[in-house]
Amino acid sequence: MNSAILKKLNYMKNNRIFIAVFFILIAFQNISSQEVYDLSRCVITGLERNFSLQISRNREQVSTNNFTKGNAGFLPSVTTTNRYGGNLTTTTQSLREGGENVNKGIYNTSGVANLNLDMTIFRGFNVQSTYQKLNELKQMGELNTQMNIENLVSRIISEYYLYIQQQNLYKNLAYAIELSLERVRIDEQRYLLGSSSKLELLQSMVYLNADSSRYAKQDEVIKASQVRLKKLMALENLEEDIVLSDTSFQIHAGLIYDELLEMTLQMNTSLLIASKNQVISEIDYKIIASRSYPYLNFNTGYSLGYSGYETGNYDNQKTRGMNYGLTLGMDIFDGFTRRLEKTNARIGIETQKIQYQEVEQEIRADLITIFYAYENNLKLLKLEEQNLEVARENLGIALERYKLGNLSGLELREVQKSLLDAEERLISVQYFTKLAEISLLRIAGQIMDYI
């Protein structure tokens, strides 16, 4: 064997060692100095820190603050007006007999202080309807926050298991490198013994390099998934690595469609919001209709007055007194504006009813579609598990035949690829089954069970 061939073999050995070291370094980098998160911690952290959810909670607080009797008009309004001032005048009076009286620089002062109370006694149930509407808007704010919470929890859980999927694919590619390294070792020994050609060894190195390249690219995919998960949790340091305590999919295989449908019709947040919109539209009609009734207002006030004079018989004058009264009124004709508003309000009620039916139909359609996918993925899961067992056994037999020289390198690669494909299919089916489970629980209003 000439020196050129020995040099080439040494290069391939070094290259193989480099790949192995590279594999170990990446694995070590991925597990060192990382903080451990389980699913519950990820969800709770997101609920506490997510920016979009904080905005939603602030909006809910506004609707809660608006729900007061004073804002509805139940309570009286008390106002006060106070004024103090004066005037400087010059008066010229022309007399009939001739001549004139001139008073220059007459300075008079005046001051007044008023305290007024106004209260609506009756306005066609407008106040009661407004208070009811504010209560419904408060509950609507709570439902909107609940929907945002459910959506956020669903996204965190989905990204959490996507991260697990990518990590499992990463491990699968690491196993592919192990197999390729083993094949290089076998081909190297066979080449040194003269029982195999250099072409077979070089081809093994090509496969090893290809697997190593895919492994390196998968590390980039994992990093991207981790950043998305940390973004959903609103972690301050997006550069800091985290590690998940879970490495497998915990699939709930016992979901029943009829039970999910019953929970959906009772607890689905989108349906509850659509129902609230329907109630609010009916209240808006009551508020408009209340304008047809007469209104009765009560008002009272107390005033203090002071006037100071520089001329005349009085030096100053002080007054104080109280006033009160009832105002009864009714809008008789407003150019048919109120009738138009009532007509449009009726249309609004009908529209909300139709929208509720539309939302219910969409949710039912999503539920049954996702449930079909869920059932099908459960079947595929069992099938892919069986395929993986067969593929592993097949690879074991193929490796033994390859060592004995009874199997070509291309055939071994096909067997190896079949095993890796079976692993990837199983991981993908596990992930899609989990996604279907998450979607079904979110639709049924049970997504918070993950916490």
Q: What is the DSSP string of 216-282?
A: HHHHHHHHHHHHHHHHHHT-S-TTS-EEES--S--------HHHHHHHHHHH-HHHHHHHHHHHHHH
* In-domain check, residue 79: no
Range of the domain at 44: 3-67+124-294+330-450
Residue 306 phi/psi, 5-degree rounding, is: -145, 135
* In-domain check, residue 81: no
* In-domain check, residue 302: no
* In-domain check, residue 252: yes
* In-domain check, residue 102: no
* In-domain check, residue 307: no
Residue 82 CB contacts under 8 Å (≥ 6 apart), including other chains: 111, 112, 113, 114
Please report the pLDDT score of residue 31 as a whole number.
Answer: 47
Alpha carbon distance 186, 201 (integer Å): 9
Element (H, E) at 55: helix 51-66
Residue with tokens 């009734």: 293
Q: Could you tell me whether strands 242-244 and 35-37 are parallel, antiparallel, or unpaired per DSSP bridges? A: parallel
Q: What is the pLDDT along the chain (451 residues), one digit of tens a residue?
A: 444 444 544 544 455 455 554 545 554 454 445 688 899 999 999 999 999 999 999 999 999 999 999 899 899 999 999 998 888 887 777 777 777 777 777 788 889 999 999 998 888 888 999 999 999 999 999 999 999 999 999 999 999 999 999 999 999 889 888 888 888 888 788 778 776 677 878 888 888 888 889 889 999 999 999 999 999 999 988 888 888 888 888 888 889 999 999 999 999 999 999 999 999 999 999 999 988 889 899 999 999 988 887 777 777 888 898 999 999 988 888 888 889 999 999 999 999 999 999 999 999 999 999 999 999 999 999 999 999 999 999 988 888 887 787 887 788 888 888 888 999 999 999 999 999 999 999 999 999 887 7
Q: How many CB atoms lie within 10 A of CB 270?
A: 19
For residue 223, the domain's CATH number is 1.20.1600.10
Q: How many CB atoms lie within 10 A of CB 184?
A: 22
Please report the pLDDT score of residue 382 as a whole number.
Answer: 94
CA 442 to chain centre: 13
Residue with tokens 């704010």: 141
Please report the pLDDT score of residue 33 as a whole number.
Answer: 55
Alpha carbon distance 163, 244 (integer Å): 9
* Number of structural domains in the chain: 1
pTM: 0.82
Please report the pLDDT score of residue 28 as a whole number.
Answer: 47
Residues 115, 151 contacting (CB under 8 angstroms): no
* In-domain check, residue 347: yes
* In-domain check, residue 386: yes
Please report the pLDDT score of residue 89 as a whole number.
Answer: 80
Please report the pLDDT score of residue 106 as a whole number.
Answer: 79
Alpha carbon distance 428, 434 (integer Å): 10
